[in-house]
Amino acid sequence: MELFQAVWTIVLVPVFTWIGKEIHDYAKARKIEKYTDMLYISVSKVVKEMYQTVVENIKDTDDWTSEKQKEIKEIAKTKIIQAITTDGYKLLRTVNTDFELWLESLIEAAIFDQKKV
């Protein structure tokens, strides 16, 4: 019986602990991947929507100012963050300390792609 307890303590507990940690890490990585995919899709959809509903109507007019562009971009950011859920937003901010900068670059890339269409 003592031999079993020794084997349990020395070998099996650390192995089960390691397996549990690996499963947890894998699940977290899958969640990060899921929310990242949601973010990419949301950025694309929101940029397209904002272009079609707002930008297209005021571009090349006197209303198209740098302040208006910033306002539209902030609205887009809010819509994108709402689309990925609070949990997704918190998780992506945790794993990416420059989340705002990353989101900004994704929006800029989507705007560039939208202009090519």
Distance CA 43, CA 80 (A): 6
Do residues 58 and 68 make contact, with C-beta atoms less than 8 angstroms apart? yes
- Which residue in this structure is represented by tokens 């997704």? 88
Q: How would residue 3 be classed by pLDDT, with cut points 50, 70 and 90?
A: low
Do residues 111 and 56 make contact, with C-beta atoms less than 8 angstroms apart? no
Rounded mean pLDDT, 24-51: 93
69 versus 5: which is more confidently predicted?
69
Q: How would residue 59 be classed by pLDDT, with cut points 50, 70 and 90?
A: confident
CA atoms within 13 A on the CB side of 28: 11
User: Both ends of the chain: CA-CA distance in Å?
Assistant: 73
Q: Is the pTM of this model over 0.75?
A: yes
